[in-house]
């Protein structure tokens, strides 16, 4: 999921800005189905608050963290605890809890609904779509899978590896893939986003496995509601066909002839 609508390139600290802008309790009804199948009679710890976990996913995307890094950062940084309303003595959601919660959101088809509701609040707060848009990808890392070569071969072929029961299959990420970016190898997904240039608000997104090239996901992200037709992007998106097609769709290309950024927006200041 996109996680949050604000990018780190926006002015000021993003977490206080989110707190001032978003009324989180408005999502509680929509999030009510997340733990619908939980059975308290089976014992164990009660599930973490659904709204708090929703905020955890926002923080995770905002700082481009995998599940293990998210758990560590929440424990390590007071600003993160304050964002969640936690004291240093409170229990922090662990990596497995974050993963399970995200899977519940996908299972109940809530991701797009939550994102749409969040944009309604952002628009109501005065962050309108102005000054054009920036098209940009960000790597979303996930824990590496400890699979054999034969299991990976079967996964890529769309088959269920032999010996994988239902429980093991649910705990395995079979859609993440490897990619290389700036000389480093990454495993996970890509979040392809379109950012409102004035307020650095994510307006559209597409999630793919990491090996999908940036240029393959472009037109799907363009926001036709922006008040300015200019589109900024790195040179990876540039092609003769795209440069010819954009004016016909009422966009002005600002795609770089050569990349002037060594890292995407969401990877700065990490």
The C-alpha R_g of the chain, in whole angstroms, comes to 20
Cα dihedral across residues 32, 33, 39, 43: positive or negative = negative
Q: Are strands 201-209 and 252-255 parallel, antiparallel or unpaired?
A: unpaired
Q: Kindly tell me if the per-residue pLDDT of 178 is higher than 80.
A: yes
CB within 8 Å of 28: residues ≥ 6 apart: 50, 51
Distance CA 255, CA 192 (A): 16
Beta bridge partners of 21: none
Distance CA 234, CA 229 (A): 17
Please provide the average confidence, as pLDDT, over all residues in the chain.
82
- Model confidence band, residue 46 (pLDDT cutoffs 50, 70, 90): low
Domain boundaries, the chain: 14-124, 133-267
Q: Which of 38-47, 51-60, 198-207, 214-223 has the lowest mean pLDDT?
A: 38-47
pLDDT of residue 230: 95
**pTM > 0.85: yes or no:** no
Percent of the chain whose predicted confidence (pLDDT) is above 70:
86
Phi, psi values for residue 61, rounded to 5°: -70, -40
Q: Which residue is it, tokens 């899977």? A: 103
Q: Residues 78-89: pLDDT tens digits?
A: 889 889 988 878
Phi, psi values for residue 207, rounded to 5°: -105, 130
Q: DSSP labels for 234-263?
A: -GGG--HHHHHHHHHTT-EEEE-SS---SS
Q: Please, where are the H alpha helices in the chain?
A: 14-21, 50-62, 67-76, 78-84, 95-107, 111-124, 149-156, 166-170, 240-248
In our burial notation (b when 16+ CB lie closer than 10 A, e otherwise), range 207-230 reads bbbbebebeebbeebbbeebeebe
* Phi-psi map region of 157: left, alpha, beta (phi>0 left; psi -120 to 50 alpha): alpha
Q: Are 255 and 238 in contact (CB under 8 A)?
A: yes
């Amino acid at each position: 999921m996109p996680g949050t609508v604000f990018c780190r390139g926006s002015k000021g600290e993003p977490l206080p800005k989110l707190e001032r802008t978003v009324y989180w309790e408005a999502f509680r009804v929509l999030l009510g189905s997340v733990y619908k199948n939980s059975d308290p009679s089976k014992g164990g710890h009660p599930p973490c608050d659904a709204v708090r976990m929703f905020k955890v996913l926002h923080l995770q995307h905002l700082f481009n963290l995998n599940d293990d890094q998210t758990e560590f950062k929440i424990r390590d940084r007071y600003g993160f605890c304050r964002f969640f309303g936690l004291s240093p003595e409170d229990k922090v959601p662990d990596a497995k809890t974050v993963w399970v919660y995200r899977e519940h959101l996908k299972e109940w088809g809530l991701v797009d609904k939550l994102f749409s509701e969040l944009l309604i609040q952002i628009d109501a707060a005065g962050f309108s779509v102005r000054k054009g848009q920036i098209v940009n990808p960000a790597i979303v890392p996930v824990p590496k899978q400890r699979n054999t070569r034969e299991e990976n071969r079967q996964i890529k072929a769309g088959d269920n590896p032999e010996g994988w029961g239902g429980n093991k299959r649910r705990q395995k990420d079979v859609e993440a893939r490897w990619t290389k970016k700036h000389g480093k190898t990454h495993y996970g997904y890509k979040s392809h986003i379109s950012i409102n240039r004035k307020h650095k608000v994510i307006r559209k997104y597409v999630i793919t496995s990491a090996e999908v090239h940036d240029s393959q996901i472009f037109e799907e992200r363009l926001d036709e509601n922006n008040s300015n037709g200019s589109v900024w992007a790195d040179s990876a998106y540039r092609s003769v066909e795209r440069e010819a097609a954009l004016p016909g769709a009422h966009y002005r290309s600002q795609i770089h002839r050569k990349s002037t950024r060594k890292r995407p927006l969401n990877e700065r200041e990490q």
